[in-house]
């Protein structure tokens, strides 16, 4: 702790350094707005049409708003949605004018609806920090997004020329390139363009939902964009510069969001030991207690409603740094396996409900530790469960002796607190190696 206090000045310098870097990016993008690297002239001296000047300004202005939006998305701030929607409209102007009709359609008819829909979905959990609900990657989400990327790439490959013809008929041949006419290599350029489109949709969806791995997808997309606009598709220095900046920002955000200073633990049962409650209070943990009855109602509607309410509490807990969940949702999922369905239809419903909430819980913040009391109704279920590490980094099984359990909980909690205190210190040296 002493060593961290000695570095307070360096922490303040690091914060200022981040702001200076962002200002530098903004200056570069403003210059990019006023000076055309493609035509090698200032926008007001360029011998091009007013339409082309508007396009040059819009794509660069779009990049400024894009940088701001991705930073706010990384912070899970609601303002990110507003900036993201404006960015999508402006970039669509550039995309349509250069024959990249699918990008225009994606921005107007996919990006904007996705952001509006996710804005509504992720802000339903109210909090006083102006943040939206977020998710984390799991094996289930990874498989889904990989398959969706392949499907979208194939769809875009065949729909690109058709959408371009529609754009030409609307805007005219003089304002839009025929699709592929400006590609250095039509087949490779079309495949790359389709893959970039697919990755953009996947990355955006993951980003607005708060998936940390969205930054990896953005980096991959930027690499392919760099190849495409570097000459495989066609050369566009303005867009190359934008992608370089986005790639740097994505890489930085991926690195800093991997080291969150939080403590999140859960108990598989209610805590009836005063000393345990005391040490949790000393650690300034926010309590979130889920209702758990010994015998879950037989009525399917009641079971469904209870699980829904419990998931909502788990989602609400993500807005706090230090969290303790009592009667964890996983316990309620385990309870579903103990039900005896009356008929085949009820059995299918219960299996579906279990699968649904396993996936939903796997997308929530991964816990540091789940403490399982020996007298917990689900002790054996935790022992036998093969996928329990999806939900927590560590499962601690406590024995019958209360004082022994207290020592186990205290030691693990102290370890988490010390680890949290060291994280910023470690991050400083990570960036300076």
Q: Does domain 263-419 have CATH number 3.40.50?
A: yes
Encode the chain in three state secondary structure: CHHHHHCHHHHHHHHHHHHHHHHHHHHHHHHHHHEECCCCEECCCCCCCHHHHHHHHHHHHHHHHHHHHHHHHHCCECHHHHHHHHHHHHHHHHHHHCCCHHHHHHHHHHHHHHHHHHHHHHCCCCCCCCECCCCCCCHHHHHHHHHHHHHHHHHHHHHHHHHHHHHHHHHCCCCCCCCCCCCCCHHHHHHHHHHHHHHHHHHHHHHHCCCCCHHHHHHHHHHHHHHHHECCCCECHHHHHHHHHHHHHHHHHHHHCCCCCCEEEEECCCCCCHHHHHHHHHCCCEEEECCCCCCCCCCHHHHHHHHHHHHHHHHHHCCCCEEEEECCHHHHHHHHCCCCCCCHHHHHHHHHHHHHHHHHHHCCCCEEEEEECCCCCCHHHHHHCCCHHHCEEEEEECCCCHHHHHHHHHHHHHHHHHHHHHHHHHHHHHHCC
Render pLDDT for 172-204 as a digit per residue (tens, 0 to 9): 665 566 777 778 888 888 999 899 989 999 998
User: What does the pLDDT average to over 307-332?
Assistant: 88
Nearest CA-CA partner of 290 in 311, 263, 319, 318: 311
**Phi then psi for 263, rounded to 5 degrees?**
-130, 120
Q: What percent of the chain has pLDDT over 70?
A: 79
Give how far Cα 423 sits from Cα of 260, 279, 282, 347, 417, Å.
8, 22, 20, 47, 10
Mean pLDDT, the chain, as a whole number?
Answer: 79
- Lowest-confidence segment of 91-95, 140-144, 244-248 by average pLDDT: 91-95
Q: State the Cα–Cα distance between residues 349 and 61, nearest whole angstrom.
A: 51
Say whether pLDDT at 149 is over 90.
yes
Q: Tell me which range, 192-196, 287-291, 404-408, is most confidently predicted by mean pLDDT.
A: 192-196
**223 vs 25, which has greater pLDDT?**
223
- Asked if residue 33 has pLDDT above 70, the reply is no
pLDDT value of position 275: 73
Residue 1 pLDDT class (50, 70, 90 cuts): very low
Q: What is the pLDDT of residue 259?
A: 58
Contact 70, 246 (CB under 8 A): yes
- Round the CA-based radius of gyration of the chain to a whole number and report it: 26
270, 327 Cβ separation under 8 angstroms: yes
Is the pLDDT higher at 260 or at 228? Answer: 228
230: pLDDT strictly greater than 70 = yes
Dihedral sign computed on CA atoms, order 104, 106, 111, 117: positive
Q: What is the pLDDT of residues 14-32, one digit of tens each?
A: 456 667 777 777 777 777 7
Burial of 37 (0-12, 13-18, 19+ CB in 10 A): middle
Q: Is the pLDDT of residue 274 over 80?
A: no
CA distances from 160 to 172, 234, 265 (A): 17, 16, 49
More confident residue, 66 or 349: 349
Q: By mean pLDDT, which of 80-84, 215-219, 300-304 is the weakest? A: 300-304
Asked if pLDDT for residue 396 goes beyond 70, the answer is yes
Highest mean pLDDT among 17-26, 30-39, 389-398 belongs to: 389-398
User: Is the model's pLDDT at 79 over the cut of 70?
Assistant: yes
What residues does each domain of the chain span? 6-257, 263-419
For 128-137, what is each residue's pLDDT tens digit? Answer: 666 667 788 8
């Amino acid at each position: 702790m002493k060593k961290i206090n000695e570095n307070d000045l360096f922490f303040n310098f690091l914060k200022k350094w981040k702001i200076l870097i962002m200002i530098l990016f903004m200056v570069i993008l403003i210059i990019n707005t006023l000076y055309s690297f493609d035509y090698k002239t200032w926008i007001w001296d360029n011998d091009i049409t007013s339409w082309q000047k508007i396009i040059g300004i819009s794509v660069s202005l779009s990049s400024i708003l894009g940088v701001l939006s991705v930073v706010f998305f990384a912070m899970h701030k609601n303002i990110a949605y507003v900036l993201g929607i404006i960015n999508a409209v402006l970039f669509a102007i550039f995309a349509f004018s250069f024959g990249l009709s699918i990008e225009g359609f994606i921005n107007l008819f996919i990006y904007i609806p996705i952001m509006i829909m996710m804005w509504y979905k992720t802000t339903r959990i109210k909090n006083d920090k102006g943040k939206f609900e977020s998710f984390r990657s799991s094996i289930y989400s990874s498989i889904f997004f990989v398959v969706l990327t392949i499907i979208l790439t194939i769809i875009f490959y065949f729909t690109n020329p058709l959408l371009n013809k529609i754009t030409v008929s609307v805007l005219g041949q003089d304002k839009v390139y025929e699709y592929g006419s400006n590609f250095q290599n039509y087949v490779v350029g079309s495949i790359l363009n389709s893959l970039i489109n697919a990755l953009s949709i996947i990355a955006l969806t993951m980003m607005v939902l708060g998936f940390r791995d969205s930054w990896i997808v953005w980096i991959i997309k930027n690499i392919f964009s760099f190849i495409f606009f570097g000459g495989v598709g066609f050369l566009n220095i303005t867009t190359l510069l934008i992608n370089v900046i986005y790639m740097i920002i994505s890489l930085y955000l991926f690195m800093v969001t991997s080291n969150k200073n939080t403590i999140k633990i859960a108990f598989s049962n209610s805590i009836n030991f005063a000393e345990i409650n005391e040490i949790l209070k000393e650690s300034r943990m926010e309590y979130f207690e889920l209702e758990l009855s010994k015998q879950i109602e037989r009525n399917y509607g009641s079971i469904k409603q209870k699980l829904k309410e419990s998931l909502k509490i788990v989602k609400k807990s993500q807005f706090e740094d230090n969290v303790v969940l009592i009667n964890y949702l996983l316990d309620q999922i385990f309870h579903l396996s103990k039900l005896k369905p009356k008929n085949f239809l009820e059995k299918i419903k219960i299996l579906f409900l279990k699968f649904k909430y396993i996936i939903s819980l796997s997308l929530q913040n991964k816990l540091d530790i789940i403490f399982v009391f020996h007298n917990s109704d689900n002790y054996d279920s935790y022992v036998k469960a093969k996928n329990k590490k999806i939900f927590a980094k560590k499962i601690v099984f406590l024995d019958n002796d209360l004082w022994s359990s207290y020592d186990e909980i205290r030691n693990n909690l102290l370890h988490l607190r010390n680890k949290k205190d060291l994280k910023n210190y470690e991050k400083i040296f990570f960036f300076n190696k």
